Amino acid sequence: MPTLILAIAELFGTALWFTPNAVLPELMTLWSLAPSDLGWLTGAVQGGFLLGTLTIGLTGLADRLDASRLFAACCLLGALSNALLPMAGGLDMAVTLRVITGLCLAGIYPVGMKLMVGWTPGRSGVGLAWLVGMLVLGTALPHGLRTLTALDEITLSWRGGIWSASLLTVLGGVMVWRLGEAPRPAGASPEPAASPNGGTKPGLPLGGLAAFRIRNFRHAAGAYFGHMWELYTLWALLPLMLASRWPSLSTAELAFGAFTLIAIGGPCCWIGGAFSTRLGSRRVAQFALAGSGLCCALYPLLGGLPGGVLVGFLALWNALAVVDSPQFSALSAKACPAHIVGSALTLQNAIGFAISMLSLLILIPLWQHTGAWLAWLLLPGPLLGLWCLHGYTRQQDTASASA
């Protein structure tokens, strides 16, 4: 039951992430925005998330404070900043609100992973797969809400879609508040002041950096960084890929297409989590990286495919690109002493999202010049991930998978 509660709360909390992206046409009209202004709304939440994760990861807040209370507080503040977006009046205030939302998401996503690791001892690959699967659905949710608001028979306004996401986030925060922290295992010793693997006392500044002294953590984190070069840029490219093949699609149809292609990754994460109990997180991640890398290489060569086959290929690519995400976090958590898991995972997220921002800033503007060939510039991410995982100690992952 705690696994299900955390997973649903993560779904509700991460609905804040791409809320304005699903209503961009309305915001452009309301605030007289130019197309060049739209990147600020997406970049602001990513920047806020990066700042928040760096703060939590370097100060050790996720390990010093009650993580469930931190999660709930961030849900409440994030819901408020998101709910105020329709009243922002212009781009400057909207960007400020999105930065605040990004800061709050830093206390929802990685802190939720820390809670899940605590509630699923010995089965973190499965628990995190459910959590990240819900994150994927939460990412797609605003596109789904936007699709509903575009239907004539649905009277919910685009503002109602934004406020619905805020309401769901509040509900997620209440669920985790009531759940609380995972109980300490019977016979567990108090948290050490220092770890032989290079950890530091919980809550000390720069505590999350201590994880990078651990060889397996470095390899798992490096694989995650390669994965992040590909994933968010692929998600951002999906509407462009659909529009380039079917230029006549309406806004609602593009929103529904993006929702479906992104959301399919959620159940695939759960399937990957189930396989991780038999194969280990490392092997599942290696399979997904190899598959998504192959998709990067093939996509520019498949322009002549029938439409239905191309959609199926994009669905497979998106599934492979995200199914490994929870397994990287599981491998990183297994490599760390328990008293720095929260800080280490949060800092790993911070660096990963910085890489995703760099990828978005560099690659998305190239689409108009390269078209489908841009996929080849995503390929270094999966290749780096495979190289890093090759150095991860197999015995540790195998033992954890069979636990």
- pLDDT for 332: 92
Could you please state the CATH topology (level 3) that the domain comprising 2-181+202-401 is classified under.
Growth Hormone; Chain: A; (1.20.1250)
Write the pLDDT tens digit of every residue in 94-114.
999 999 999 999 999 888 888
Q: Is the pTM of this model over 0.85?
A: no
Number of H helices, E strands in the chain: 20, 0
Distance from C-alpha of 180 to C-alpha of 119, rounded to nearest angstrom: 10
Q: Stretch 39-61: mean pLDDT, rounded?
A: 83
Average pLDDT, the chain: 82
Pick from 209-218, 319-328, 389-398: least confident:
389-398
Distance from C-alpha of 91 to C-alpha of 97, rounded to nearest angstrom: 10
Contact (CB, 8 A) for 199 and 336 = yes
**How many of the other CB atoms lie within 10 Å of CB of 276?**
28
Q: Which of 4, 18, 399 is nearest to 175 (CA)?
A: 4
Distance from C-alpha of 362 to C-alpha of 332, rounded to nearest angstrom: 28
- The CA-to-CA distance between both ends of the chain, in Å, stands at 20
Contact (CB, 8 A) for 140 and 259 = yes
Task: Specify the DSSP element, H or E, that contains 32.
Answer: none
Distance from C-alpha of 178 to C-alpha of 75, rounded to nearest angstrom: 13
- pLDDT for 155: 44
Pick from 57-61, 71-75, 140-144, 225-229: least confident:
140-144
- pLDDT for 146: 59
Distance from C-alpha of 132 to C-alpha of 223, rounded to nearest angstrom: 16
Q: What are the tokens at 43? A: 């970049």
**Of the ranges 127-136, 218-227, 301-310, the best mean pLDDT one:** 218-227
Task: Specify the DSSP element, H or E, that contains 204.
Answer: none
- pLDDT for 44: 85
Q: Stretch 195-205: mean pLDDT, rounded?
A: 42
Q: How confident is the model at residue 223 (pLDDT cuts 50, 70, 90)?
A: very high
Query: At residue 117, does pLDDT exceed 50?
Result: yes
Q: At what angle do helices 109-119 and 38-59 cross, to 10 degrees?
A: 40
- pLDDT for 201: 44
Distance from C-alpha of 141 to C-alpha of 153, rounded to nearest angstrom: 19
Q: What are the tokens at 120? A: 């699923």
> In Å, how far are 4, 36, 38 from 91, measured between CA atoms?
38, 12, 9
18 phi, psi to nearest 5 deg? -115, 30
